[in-house]
Amino acid sequence: MPSLPDVMIPEVADLARRAASGQTADPHLEDVALKPAFFDWLCRMGDSTLILGHRLSEWCGHGPVLEEDIALANTALDFIGQTQLWLGLAAEVEAQGRSADDLAFLRDAMKFRNVKLVELPNGDIGQTLMRGFLFDAWHFEMLTALGNSTSPRVAEIAAKAVKEVSYHLERSSDLVVRLGDGTEQSHERMQAALDYLWPYTGEMFAGDAIDRAVTEAGIAPDPAALLPLWQRTVTEVLAEATLQVPDRRFDAQHGGKQGRHTEHLGYILAQMQFLQRAYPGASW
């Protein structure tokens, strides 16, 4: 067989090192006034992929069928790889000697900047896939827009990530359609998942002062600008899936991007950060 790769880790690790070594010049990294907002925004990107990747990794060994178990792990691996890049750049922007691992394993909940949607429990596989779809539809538009970022480093990460995420979206849309329009039971479960997750989706499009600062610097798009694109994808896919868009506010739940999370995040961190917390300074 032509040599297909067994794992993609070395490639991601290599990219992370390259990004961290700063081969591409980026004037935004020297902009002192922009630093706090840029750092926070990078944490929003990296924390969302970190926490969602963590949630997906919980499925490992417990998937509904072997093929799906493997596919979920692939997606989780993509997210962990992207986290290394985003948090690696965040650490570089911050320039306080912290690493991506320090940011992931040594911050407490109030310092996390992920949207609440990604920290919600996995529920059944339908809820996991629906959460993935709602996120992927945003993530894809965000990364596509970041391809035009005035920050070459951000554009570089986005260019790598968007290839992975376009496949995430293709796969999650396909499964949402199939399960929505499958059996009566699968339809009901997908509708219930959608109803539960819907109020958390609006946070992805809500801008604040941080967003305004990076938007003005040309680093990232205005989050609100992504909404029509997201709505188009979501409406189309849900219609094909014979699912009803819930009749309730889609932005009722928010605050994750500012560090006000659900109760779930604390438990994720308790697990994820256990070793780093229990054995400070040890090397793994």
> What residues make contact with another protein under the rule CB under 8 A?
1-9, 12-13, 50, 54, 57-58, 60-71, 73-74, 76-77, 80-81, 83-84, 87, 100-101, 104-105, 124-126, 163-164, 167, 170-171, 174-175, 177-179, 181-183, 185-187, 189, 271-272, 274-276, 279, 281-284
Q: How far is the CB of 49 from another protein (least distance, A)?
A: 11
- CA–CA separation, 128 vs 175, rounded Å? 11
Cβ distance to another protein smaller for residue 54 or 261: 54
Q: DSSP H helical segments within the chain, as ranges? A: 9-21, 35-57, 66-94, 100-106, 125-146, 152-180, 184-197, 209-216, 227-240, 264-272, 274-278
Q: Residues of 141-157 as b/e, b for ≥16 C-beta within 10 angstroms?
A: bbbbbbeebebebbbbb
Q: How far is the CB of 221 from another protein (least distance, A)?
A: 26
Cβ distance to another protein smaller for residue 4 or 209: 4
Q: How far is the CB of 107 from another protein (least distance, A)?
A: 14
Q: How far is the CB of 63 from another protein (least distance, A)?
A: 7
Cβ distance to another protein smaller for residue 227 or 243: 243
Could you count the other beta carbons within 10 Å of the beta carbon of residue 87?
A: 25
Give the number of C-alpha atoms closer than 13 A to the C-alpha of residue 48, restricted to the C-beta side. Answer: 22
Q: How far is the CB of 217 from another protein (least distance, A)?
A: 27
Length of the chain: 284
- CA–CA separation, 283 vs 265, rounded Å? 25
Cβ distance to another protein smaller for residue 163 or 232: 163
Cβ distance to another protein smaller for residue 111 or 274: 274
